[in-house]
Structure 1
């Protein structure tokens, strides 16, 4: 295992804690837990035998000390812009971010020339979606002479414990949906069908922007029969009411109705050797945050052992689904 050092910013959040624990299991010992609050950072670090530091992404005065002696920085919290990523790249370090924000992706992608000149690198799209969905989409599309469309389905369990940032992002991206936008799609080996809505996940934008696919769409469904087409329309309307978001956030965090199941389905349609071609891949697991942590921790280990070239990368540009398949299946997940 590489002795290069890792700083996890937000290392005491739900995903950050799970990631830190997985890195310990994978043999990573040179890890620092970072965050604004000393007590939780110190608590997680001492439990795992790591170092800890305080760092506030909104206060650049805290950055230099936290980055001293660090080789790779992993960010597990929301940011308003690319200033911290730029500071990391300027030092010639590695930068990994689990964000699902395509706005932030675009801002960091704009640092490509700066990263190359500084000797730094960044890897984005390293979670469940974007991340695993990107890898599955590339696996389905590879080998096709022409890719006409890719559809990604994401199934989340309302019985799962979702982090605050994930809940906020989901509620903020809800929209009123016409009946024509709601469609049932199948997930997993049991082909369980759930009502789904088009949703603004970053994976679809990354795949079109970075790989030239003309049509990629991502749809969201919830693993409970209680959320019907009518229920999705209601959620879409309530999500646009500022006061209701807080109520919904509280309800979803306190009352869990359904399973902790997570499912992905990816279908690519195109042509191969002049003939129509259709390829499908599915994924089933439990606990979305744990899968995000697994994907991110595996990415960290891969990058520590074999750093990418300088510049800005998305995970599917430098790695394939086979690099993660064994780890995913080892968790009891089904990848087919």
Structure 2
């Protein structure tokens, strides 16, 4: 097979990357990571064949990249050298990161449009963006739109996701209409099955992506948990300034351990779009599994589609109806 037909997956043996690798098992793959043994162990377990390349995402060997037609990144990175290289050399690029700062960096690049650059393919961003698109189509005159995200405390989240969340509890961010804002200060709520769950503003990148896409609207993302008392506790601790203790390693470690080894709560997740009494929501379980499955499905479509080129979002590859109607994802949806 021509080397130009190969797909490089960086972190393809990780928590989300495994789903993508399985979805693309019929393709000619190159799996990249820092630990050859872990990659080989994964391939043996899955009874799969792929070329293995040992490389750190922070020290890219571009000679290994130049002969592939698509790069899929499943690990966090700080600089945009790889996506810039892919854009310049007509190599398609997909990134599963939910890191707000990094996606903002990519969106500010002057891309040539030589390749397809796909971002935001998980829960938030991802499913929330699909819900928002459908909501705007149904309610075109809505202006101030809330994105509500409820996460189950009973699910074991990955280390990177926990670290990102804790870091963003104490990090101010900029919002299209609210300006410079502190996280977990602006209150809202979502009604699910007759139960009111409180939420507070948080720096998920979906709101920034949507605010770029819809110039006449303002999206704000709110985060809460399935255990309202924990959401309230976090808010209270934030108000008296105790969350600033996350800047200290010992306290950070205690909170990190709590989220890594949950003792109560469920694995539910809820994504809801609401404005002026109108609601469109999706409910599922096991956010990690959902993120992996949707990333895998999107990757499979992405590598086989003839797309417009340039910066793309999940809605360019799959629709909300296709996700909800596919039993594999296990979603229930509702609207008011």
Give the CA deviation at 1:175.
Answer: 4.0
Give the CA deviation at 1:319.
Answer: 4.3
Given the superposition, is the C-alpha separation of residues 143 and 225 from structure 1 closer, same or farther in structure 2, using an over 3 Å criterion? closer
Given the superposition, is the C-alpha separation of residues 112 and 298 from structure 1 closer, same or farther in structure 2, using an over 3 Å criterion? farther
* Residues 270-312 of structure 1 deviation map (CA, whole Å, 9 limit, x = unaligned): xxxxxxxx54211111111111112211111111221312211
User: 1:216 and 2:211 equivalent?
Assistant: no
Given the superposition, is the C-alpha separation of residues 160 and 204 from structure 1 closer, same or farther in structure 2, using an over 3 Å criterion? same
Paired residue secondary structure (1:129): coil
Q: Which residues in structure 2 correspond to 1:7-156 (within 5 Å)? A: 7-24=8-25, 28-48=26-46, 49-51=48-50, 52-60=52-60, 62-65=61-64, 67=65, 69-114=67-112, 116=113, 119-156=114-151
Structure 1 portions without partners, runs of 5+: 270-277
Contact 2:20/2:297 (CA < 8 Å) preserved in 1? no
How many angstroms apart in 2 are the aligned matches of 1:179 and 1:122? 31
Given the superposition, is the C-alpha separation of residues 179 and 216 from structure 1 closer, same or farther in structure 2, using an over 3 Å criterion? closer
Given the superposition, is the C-alpha separation of residues 213 and 158 from structure 1 closer, same or farther in structure 2, using an over 3 Å criterion? farther
How many angstroms apart in 2 are the aligned matches of 1:207 and 1:213? 11
1:207 equivalent among 200, 207, 210: 210
1:170 equivalent among 165, 168, 172: 165
Structure 2 portions without partners, runs of 5+: 172-181
Contact 1:33/1:45 (CA < 8 Å) preserved in 2? no
Contact 1:6/1:74 (CA < 8 Å) preserved in 2? yes
* Residues 191-228 of structure 1 deviation map (CA, whole Å, 9 limit, x = unaligned): 43222111110011111112214321111111124414
Give the CA deviation at 1:318.
Answer: 5.5
How many angstroms apart in 2 are the aligned matches of 1:97 and 1:76? 6
* Residues 200-258 of structure 1 deviation map (CA, whole Å, 9 limit, x = unaligned): 10011111112214321111111124414234332674443212222211221123421
1:334 is matched with 332
How many angstroms apart in 2 are the aligned matches of 1:107 and 1:39? 33
Paired residue secondary structure (1:203): helix
Given the superposition, is the C-alpha separation of residues 213 and 96 from structure 1 closer, same or farther in structure 2, using an over 3 Å criterion? farther
The TM-score normalised by the length of structure 2 is: 0.85
1:258 equivalent among 265, 269, 279: 265
How many angstroms apart in 2 are the aligned matches of 1:179 and 1:134? 21
Q: For structure 1, which segment, 315-324 or 72-81, has the greater mean C-alpha deviation from structure 2 after superposition?
A: 315-324
* Residues 11-32 of structure 1 deviation map (CA, whole Å, 9 limit, x = unaligned): 22222223333444xxx34333
Q: For structure 1, which segment, 141-150 or 226-235, has the greater mean C-alpha deviation from structure 2 after superposition?
A: 226-235
Contact 1:134/1:207 (CA < 8 Å) preserved in 2? yes
Contact 1:33/1:50 (CA < 8 Å) preserved in 2? no
Give the CA deviation at 1:112.
Answer: 4.6
How many angstroms apart in 1 are the aligned matches of 2:12 and 2:318? 25
Q: For structure 1, which segment, 301-310 or 227-236, has the greater mean C-alpha deviation from structure 2 after superposition?
A: 227-236
How many angstroms apart in 1 are the aligned matches of 2:183 and 2:62? 46
* Residues 26-80 of structure 1 deviation map (CA, whole Å, 9 limit, x = unaligned): xx343332211211122212322031222211113x3422x25422211111111
Q: Which residues in structure 2 correspond to 1:254-333 (within 5 Å)? A: 254-269=261-276, 279-317=278-316, 319-327=318-326, 329-333=327-331
Given the superposition, is the C-alpha separation of residues 198 and 22 from structure 1 closer, same or farther in structure 2, using an over 3 Å criterion? same
Given the superposition, is the C-alpha separation of residues 208 and 46 from structure 1 closer, same or farther in structure 2, using an over 3 Å criterion? same
Paired residue secondary structure (1:152): strand
Contact 1:172/1:239 (CA < 8 Å) preserved in 2? no
